[in-house]
Amino acid sequence: MRSLTLKTRIILPLAIAGVLVFVIGSYFVSNLEARQRNDAILHEAEFMQAHLKSLLDTKAEVMGASLHFIAQDRQLIAAMQAGDRKALLALSAPMYERLHQKHNITHFYFHDARRINLLRVHKPEKYGDVIDRYTAIGAEKSATLFSGMELGPLGTFTLRSVLPVFNGSKLLGYIELGQEVDSLIQDARTMLHAEFFMLVNKRYLVQSDWEAGMRMLDRKSDWDMLPATVLVSQSLRDAPIEALAQINAIHSGTGIHILQEIDLQGHRYWVVNIPVNDAGGHQVSMLVMLHDMTQLVAQSKKDMLLFTGISAAISLGIFILFYLILGRIEQKLTRSRQQLMSENKIREEMQERFIRQLQDEQSKLRESEERFEKISASAQDAIISIDSEGNISFWNKAAETIFGYTQEEVLGKNFHPLIVPERFREAYLKPFPAFLEMGQGAALGKTLELAAIRKDGTEFPIEIALSATLLAGKWNGIAVLRDITERKKAQLEIERALNIQRVLDSILNISLPPLMLKEVLLKSLDAVLSIPVFSLQNKGAIFLVVKETLKMVAQRNLPDALLRSCAILPFGKCLCGKAAATREIIFLNHLNEQHEIRYDGIQPHGHYCIPIMLEGRLLGVLNAYVDAGHVSDENEKKYLKTVSDALAVVIERKQGEEELQRLAHNDPLTGLPNRSLFHDRLEQGLALAQRHQQNFAVLFLDLDHFKEINDTFGHDVGDVLLRETAGRLLSCVRKTDTVARMGGDEFTVIITEIKTPESAEHVARNILKALLEPFELNGTLCNVGCSIGIARYPEHGMDSETLLKNADAAMYHAKRKRNTFCSFSNNLQADS
């Protein structure tokens, strides 16, 4: 029964554990395999998306190059400018044939400057309509080549490129090329060995037009087959309607999404949805990819069966092996039990011998006491014994060395007033009566860190271990003491280093969020001033170098008089200026002649002024206040220098980030907001005006005679004129208004919170007056002037595009007279 019980207790839990391990392992293997399949399908979908984008970009580049080549044909451009459709068709028809044969170009257009179609080379009979596609509007807004994929009324996609054509600065019209891209789906099926279905959102189609187009293309045209989309292209003959309907219902994201598994025609497919956007950025279509996973799933099942079989065989082998081993162990236990019984008899005989030996040990005890005295004399720790009266009864050599008293000076004297500091004596004596009575106390059996005094009166830290022993019916105490002065110093250095590291980590973490440099420096200064191991006051400042001077950008708790005096410091002035000039740490623990800047009510104090350096470059100075009489050491300076180095890294990175931000949103020539930032400010102004029911105005300016000055004096002088113009424009508006350069000699102004229409006109008069003042260019006084168009919100438009267009139209009307302004009106719109 015993052997059976032992085997049951060991083998049964082992078998249960084996089954659990197998089940858990199978679960994780299955999940891992599923994730790997998922990742592989997602990778293929991302590759498909990237491949389609690459093909479209390549085709767009080819069409762009073709458009630029076509625009070089002077006869073609002349016919376009004259609006001669017959000559335009005669010149462009051969081009279209070559482009169609060589690059599969299917669309060839000519539009005038107002985007009204002059000629469809591929359909000459259709013309005169306004082209409002995203690519045409994008070319109009950007004034350069604009390409993109657009959804047609038939549910097919066309890759279009539109090039605006200029004669000097005058817009003549647009040339457009287009190419059908439906064949890309079949190419993708051949490349990836997958099935594809193209679904188009019904919001972007007209049912009748689409059905007519599908019949023309000899394709199925079931508009009601899917609830929100229509199927326009497929590589598999029979479409999985139910699966496509589910995909249509559940997918609303903008990224690639693996949706589900489906069974179709005896195959297992994984369904992947790839969103497709048009040139306007709208998700108009979804490309559904069906990846055949039939063979992979079958192979996975085979592998799992093989894994199960091998695991079962290994488990059975381990079970049999353990069964045999346990049998042998039981045999050994039986033999060990018999051996213990025989050893018990031997142990009784040994006890008799031990009694005899005990008598010998008593004599040896006396020898041990002698050895103890010798050992205690050579010990490095102080060993002190006190009797029941609290008087010292033992004092070894180490105690003499640590405390300075000889054994003769202390024996018989009370322990507490001799070595315990006066401020702790009452607390030490309070539990002593309980110790004398019962030999108990909270400090017994523990190692404590306390303070003690030497013979010369100096106080130092000790580590003490107390124990109690009963001698002649009375409790005596034994104390082992160790001088831990050096250890405390080492701990202080470690604590200081840890605090510095925390501050460095804090500074680096503060710099990670997208904060302005001043905010980062304020928070970093707070972290530095809060270092507990330094005796820093909660006062200080951080200066940055600005053109060989120091500028205070962050401060804490400095008086107003000092803020005014120290806002800008030249190198060499006062302590911070001297630190900047010498690139050395300046420390003073009192006020003297070096502290040049004083104010009424100044209190005694000291300073650390640490230069903030990076790769030999001075970035600024860290100024920290300390108490008067503060004692500095090299480690403290070293740690503060480490803090300043961390600040240097943060300052360098933040200044770089702010410079990149400025370059991205400002015109490099004038420093004014560029076109991108102007549109952002205009959208913000619209949002604020709509929220607060306010009015504002947009002014569109074009310099008069700028081209003549540019041609006469050169582009460098033209750049000087543009920069001076920017300065004069800024002087005519408020800080809350925006002046931007749109390009060339065109500027825009946003005037916020206008009360009456005359407010905008008043600003326009000021601008005209400012720009009528002669400009001194290359030693010559030149009169320039400008033409200004004004559009007011909400009177002349409710959105940014309308306002800017109407201001532009008003400016061109003012351009007829020059050096004047014109407000937009409905009559002007009709005239335009």
Distance CA 624, CA 575 (A): 11
CB atoms within 10 A of CB 468: 16
Q: Which phi and psi angles does 172 have, rounded to 5°?
A: -90, -35
Structure tokens at 210: 């689409």
3-state secondary structure of 601: coil
DSSP string for residues in 331-391: HHHHHHHHHHHHHHHHHHHHHHHHHHHHHHHHHHHHHHHHHHHHHHHH-SSEEEEE-TTSB
- Going from the C-alpha of 39 to that of each of 33, 44, 257, 272, 302, the distances in angstroms are 10, 9, 11, 12, 21
* Cα distance between residue 179 and residue 689, in whole Å: 43
Closest by Cα among 169, 168, 164, 167 to 146: 164
CB 194 within 8 A of CB 290: yes
Tell me the residue type at 714: G
Contacts of 809 (CB under 8 A, 6+ apart): 789, 824, 828, 829, 832
Return the DSSP state at 755: S
Tell me which amino acid residue 88 is.
L
Dump strand ranges (E) for 546-682.
Answer: 549-556, 568-570, 586-588, 606-614, 617-626
**Distance between CA atoms of residues 441 and 427, nearest Å:** 13
User: Which is nearest to 163 in space by CA: 110, 106, 99, 103?
Assistant: 110
> CA-CA-CA-CA torsion for 732, 738, 740, 742, nearest 10 degrees?
-120
Q: What residues form DSSP beta bridges with 375?
A: none
Rounded-to-integer distance, Cα 817 and Cα 730, Å:
25
Cα–Cα distance between 802 and 628 in angstroms, integer? 67
Which among 777, 791, 785 has a CA at the least distance from the CA of 819? Answer: 785
Alpha helix segments (H runs only) across 693-825:
706-713, 715-731, 757-772, 800-815
Give the separation between CA 477 and CA 469, rounded to whole angstroms.
Answer: 6
User: CA 316, 322, 324 angle in degrees (round to 5)?
Assistant: 105
SS3 state at 482: strand
Residue 222: C-alpha distances to residues 213, 225, 241, 453, 716 (Å): 12, 5, 11, 101, 65
Q: Is 453 helix (H, G, I), strand (E, B) or coil?
A: strand
Selected catalytic residue, list 483, 745, 799, 831: 745
Catalytic-residue membership of 645: no
DSSP H or E stretch at residue 82: helix 74-82
718 phi and psi angles, rounded to 5 deg: -60, -40
- Tell me how crowded residue 828 is: count the other CB atoms within 10 A of its CB: 17
Are 210 and 225 in contact, with CB atoms under 8 Å apart? Answer: no
Instruction: Determine the residue type at 636.
Output: E
Q: Which residues are catalytic?
A: 745
